Amino acid sequence: MHKVGFIGVGIMGKSMVRNLMKAGFELHIYARTRAKVEDVIGEGAVFHESIKDCVRDCDAVITIVGFPQDVEEVYFDTGNILESAKQGAYLIDMTTTSPMLAKKIAEAGNEKGYRVLDAPVTGGDGGARAGTLSILVGGGKENFEACMPLFQAMGTNINYQGEAGCGQHAKLANQIMIAGALSGVCEALTYARAKGLDLQVLLDSVSTGAAGSRQLDTFGPKILAEDYAPGFFMKHFIKDMKLALTEANMSGLSLDVLSQALANYEELAAEGYGDLGTQALMKYYEETVCEEE
């Protein structure tokens, strides 16, 4: 496995492309806007004007795009992946998307002789840059094992979750955990500020105790600095939470914390904050406090 097609060279994808090239893979990329990927082209990635040209000679094709409709487009639209990839190629969707869509791609791909995996990631833009992503993989286990060199170029915690769609289920469980943990961080900081505490002293005090978490470590300092630049877009997190609630409803589950977090984020998105990072949830609490005052 040498030639890799990569579609979705955004905040996460660009770092993943770089790490794949560092590992010795030949990268062929497609992006809607060439100007946004000139840096990785300069570093050795081969740019193509169409998905068809990008994937047709590749041993593996990796996609990490924005929304389920984008996944549908790159796989199923005329002339795209399922009509153009090389016979027997590995097709790996690393987008966080619907488990049902992952199964649909697997079924269609398997019928055409492709080897399909759903492999969403977690670890944010920092993990993508460092090559330390957690990768959650669903599909045929033999395909998972064959693609391990690719995964090891991008991540360090790589686990097989089960059949097609299980990688997506694992990622949605991850997003449910984040929704609760980050909401807790924002609520705690809101409470501490209202009570007159020094927020930096508070972070230093609790981060190594039972309340410590990756969300607190990553976003606590950013919230204090009012740094809401996206490592992961709020609008994409909203998409993930909606997917999780849909799947929960199909199983008769009531996830109240997730539902409330989603409602809070959707209110912020309606106010125009969808392109900020997930830590901008703090704005919801700041606005709530201001309204009460």
Banded pLDDT at 78 (limits 50, 70, 90): very high
Same domain, 207 and 234: yes
- Among candidate residues 14, 103, 171, 283, the one labeled active-site is 171
For residue 53, pLDDT beyond 70: yes
Range with the poorest average pLDDT among 124-128, 150-154, 262-266: 124-128
CATH number of the domain that residue 254 is part of? 1.10.1040.10
Average pLDDT value for residue range 225-241: 95
pLDDT for res 115: 98
Residues 138 and 242 in one domain: no
CATH code at position 99 = 3.40.50.720
| pLDDT surpasses 60 at 293 | no
Q: What percentage of the chain carries pLDDT values higher than 90? A: 94
225 and 124 assigned to the same domain: no
Question: Please, which pLDDT band fits residue 12 given cuts at 50, 70 and 90?
Answer: very high
Q: Is the pLDDT of residue 1 over 80?
A: no
- For residue 76, the enclosing domain spans 3-163
Are residues 114 and 259 both part of a single domain?
Answer: no
Decide which of 163, 178, 195 is a domain's last residue. Answer: 163
Mean pLDDT of 2-12: 94
- Predicted pLDDT of residue 124: 86
Instruction: Please indicate, yes or no, whether residues 153 and 214 belong to a single structural domain of this protein.
Output: no
Instruction: Identify whether residues 21 and 149 lie together within a single domain.
Output: yes
Same domain, 148 and 12: yes
Q: Is the pLDDT of residue 151 over 80?
A: yes
pLDDT tens-place string over residues 121-150:
999 889 999 999 999 999 999 999 999 999
String of DSSP letters for the chain: --EEEEE--SHHHHHHHHHHHHTTPEEEEE-S-GGGGHHHHHTTPEEESSHHHHHTT-SEEEE--SSHHHHHHHHHSTTSHHHHSPTT-EEEE-S---HHHHHHHHHHHHHTT-EEEE--EESHHHHHHHT-EEEEEEE-HHHHHHTHHHHHHHEEEEEEEESTTHHHHHHHHHHHHHHHHHHHHHHHHHHHHHTT--HHHHHHHHTTSTT--HHHHHHHHHHHTT----SSBHHHHHHHHHHHHHHHHHTT---HHHHHHHHHHHHHHHTT-TTSBGGGGHHHHHHHHHHH-
Residues 46-61: what's their mean pLDDT?
Answer: 97
For residues 240 and 113, state if they share a domain.
no
Average pLDDT over residues 261-269: 97
- How far is Cα 214 from Cα 21, in angstroms, rounded to an integer? 29
pTM above 0.85, yes or no: yes
Instruction: Clarify whether residues 148 and 119 are in a common domain.
Output: yes
User: pLDDT averaged over the chain?
Assistant: 96
- Over pLDDT 70: what percentage of the chain? 98
Residue 75 sits in the same domain as residue 150? yes
216-227 average pLDDT score: 97
Domain boundary among 138, 163, 188: 163
Mean pLDDT of 96-107: 97
pLDDT at 291: 58
Among residues 146, 163, 180, the one where a domain terminates is 163
The pLDDT of residue 103 is 98
Please indicate whether residue 171 is annotated as part of the active site: yes
Q: Tell me the pLDDT tens digit for each residue of 157-166.
A: 999 999 999 9
**pLDDT of 290 over the 60 cut:** no
Q: Are 149 and 179 part of one and the same domain?
A: no
pLDDT at residue 287, rounded to an integer? 82
Say whether both 153 and 27 belong to one domain: yes
What local confidence, expressed as pLDDT, does residue 233 receive? 92
The number of distinct structural domains making up the chain is 2
Other CB atoms within a 10 A radius of the CB of residue 23 amount to 14
